[in-house]
Structure 1
Amino acid sequence: MSQNPDSTDVSLDTLYRDIIAAHSAIRPAVAVTPMTYSERFSRATGCEIFFKCEHQQHTGSFKYRGAYNKMRLLTPQERARGVVVATSGNHGQAMALAGRLAGVEITVYTPQRTSPYKIEAMRALGATVVTVPGTSLDAEIEASRQAQLQGKPYVSPYNDLAVIAGQGTVGVEMNEQQPGVDVVFAAVGGGGLISGIGAALARLNPGARLIGCWPEHAASLYRSLEAGEIVSVANEPSIAEGVAGGIFPGAVTFGLCQQLIHQSVLVSEAEIHEAMRLVAVDEHWIIEGAAGASLAGALRMARGLAGKRVAVVLCGRNIDWPIFLKAVS
């Protein structure tokens, strides 16, 4: 499995087999998260709303699935050299924990605007954190360059089939927990989560519609899919910083998302804030902005989904407390 495969070379059959292999191989280290029926959201929307609770995964996001799967597949020689990672936070935390458990040194390159809370969480798990001027894409480019210079494996947050296979176990679990859902909403940044879920559901529940949700302020992959090629997009600040940033040239997720996403929706910052507030009030959960984006997308489209079984992936909970309070007040 190559680290940075060409987007035209991906076989969905092979990716699905890798997802199924990961589904058993990552246990018990990676938790099976709940898929919870929401009485309140179902009553309010006219749909049957189920939350896939990835905010309850280890390190507070779905990212631990891909990180652990990638770590288990590294050779002893690769582990001995240490691993280089690029992240805006959640992938770095996940790789730091996977590295600590495996005895592997993790160096994380992160943009300067990364949350201090997330930087401290990565360091607390034993990672070395290097801040890079610019965007998340700038951090990815520098991390990839440094890994090549130092002869170390580079683990992208999304542009890696082993990482995508780990994220795809979300889709396998969803199908086991609630077979036959009609629609799945998931937030999209680099596309690793939605590609993995889509590859799993394409085989396990091919009738399900997969809807990608983007903040209006951070829609790089959305605009690239619209253009038919990876394009540079100037992002504005978004509370959904976990899905902000550009797309690495030639990213494998671009072609996967072209094949697997049935519909896309852009949501405003106000809609994300309101989704986060509603989850806090009705479910008593803290979720981060990216998770709010997926729910915001579902709420935006709920009127046309009456009577449907709808799954919303709440992808994480890692958000600075003052930012969360401001968003939901």
Structure 2
Amino acid sequence: MQQLAKEVYQAAGQAAKRITPFAYPTRVIYSPYLSKLCKGRVYLKPECLQTTGSFKLRGALNKVLTLQAAGYRKPLITASTGNHAAAVAFASGQANLQTVIYMPETASQVKIKNLQLYPNVEIRLNGQDSLASEMAARQEAEHQELAYISPYNDEAIIAGQATVGLEVLAEVDRPDAVLVPVGGGGLISGIGGVLKHTSPTTQVIGCQPENSAVMYHSVVAGKILDMPSKPTLSDGTAGGLEKNSLTFTYARAFVDDFVLLSETAIRQGIATILQHHRLVIEGAAALSVAALLANPGRYAGQTTVLVLSGNKLSWSLLQEISGELA
């Protein structure tokens, strides 16, 4: 584990230099309410304030700029309906590269129109779900010999996400615990590697929805599982893992514990941050908050950091929760 953590840490340092001109360094925010609740010190890492609205920009920038530095000039291909798509669109624009984004035919018109705002992006609708569109994108990338930008299963992507960990440690000295939303695992792989190299006593805690906890169940089983996911407010973390995913190995090495959250708990997490910090966060970002709310006594007397991964909350849910708080 120590060697792997060192490699992630070193790659994160290189990524930070590469992406700094484009990615906003999100300063931690002290939370008086959550600190009082758990009788400790709680800080928020608001990646919901990042350019494009999520941490995904960091990995996308690092991957795209690495390709550009190596002389790559052809179009890029990716598949996503959310934060990763926006991140790749922005990053490729900075590198003056064209990007083809595959999305399922069922993708919302709002998401499609948002991506069409980027002049360097071409949208291709394929299949009835995200898996089908991803397979089509990969096939096209291989056929045309173009670079496919994975949302998590790539060392350069992980190194970019790891810069979140560098920034946390620059402001919070040796936190006792860092709670991180987990989907494909790119974010927790990067943060976990940085923390285990620099602050090995820090607990790295992965947070997943009960309705889609593929990484957790895979780590417990000791192998990547192919299992269905139920609908969840944390749609940004929903879904399975690629075969032979790097992040599975990283998660087994760096993650100390997992917490699984109900849909009610996730909703409460969104409402808590909206009420006490006036920040809009998506369901995936609320996982870390929900984990602390579910067991505040666990963090008593400790310094805890909650990673708020993104802000893509639907207008309807935002209005609904706002109305309940009014």
- Counterpart in 2 of 1:224? 218
Note if 1:239 corresponds to 2:233: yes
In the TM superposition, 1:1-329 aligns within 5 A as: 11-75=4-68, 79-126=72-119, 127-327=121-321, 329=324
The residue type paired with residue 58 of structure 1 is: T
Contact 1:276 1:287 in 2 (8 A): yes
| Alpha carbons of structure 1 residues 91 and 42: separation in structure 2 relative to 1, 3 Å | same
Moved more, 197-206 or 168-177: 197-206
| Alpha carbons of structure 1 residues 301 and 110: separation in structure 2 relative to 1, 3 Å | farther
Q: Distance in 2 between matches of 1:271 and 1:255?
A: 28
SS in 2 for 1:290: coil
SS in 2 for 1:121: helix
Contact 2:68 2:95 in 1 (8 A): no
Contact 1:136 1:245 in 2 (8 A): no
Contact 2:184 2:237 in 1 (8 A): yes
Deviation at 1:186, TM superposition (A): 0.7
Moved more, 253-262 or 82-91: 82-91
| Alpha carbons of structure 1 residues 224 and 211: separation in structure 2 relative to 1, 3 Å | same
SS in 1 for 2:152: coil
Deviation at 1:135, TM superposition (A): 4.0
| Alpha carbons of structure 1 residues 45 and 119: separation in structure 2 relative to 1, 3 Å | farther
Contact 2:165 2:190 in 1 (8 A): yes
SS in 1 for 2:223: coil
Deviation at 1:56, TM superposition (A): 0.6
The residue type paired with residue 178 of structure 1 is: V
Q: Distance in 2 between matches of 1:88 and 1:179?
A: 36
Deviation at 1:140, TM superposition (A): 2.8
Q: Distance in 2 between matches of 1:235 and 1:112?
A: 20
Q: Distance in 2 between matches of 1:264 and 1:21?
A: 29
Question: How many residues get paired?
Answer: 321
Deviation at 1:196, TM superposition (A): 0.3
Per the normalisation by structure 2, the TM-score is 0.93
Contact 2:116 2:122 in 1 (8 A): yes
SS in 2 for 1:258: helix
Deviation at 1:168, TM superposition (A): 0.1
Deviation at 1:63, TM superposition (A): 0.6
Q: Deviations over 1:3-30 (max 9, x none)?
A: xxxxx9x943322211111112211211
The residue type paired with residue 45 of structure 1 is: C
Contact 1:225 1:258 in 2 (8 A): yes
Contact 2:75 2:98 in 1 (8 A): yes
Q: Distance in 1 between matches of 2:128 and 2:287?
A: 24
The residue type paired with residue 195 of structure 2 is: L
Q: Distance in 2 between matches of 1:223 and 1:326?
A: 32
Deviation at 1:39, TM superposition (A): 0.6
Deviation at 1:57, TM superposition (A): 0.5
Work out the percentage of aligned pairs sharing the same amino acid: 34
Contact 1:115 1:320 in 2 (8 A): no
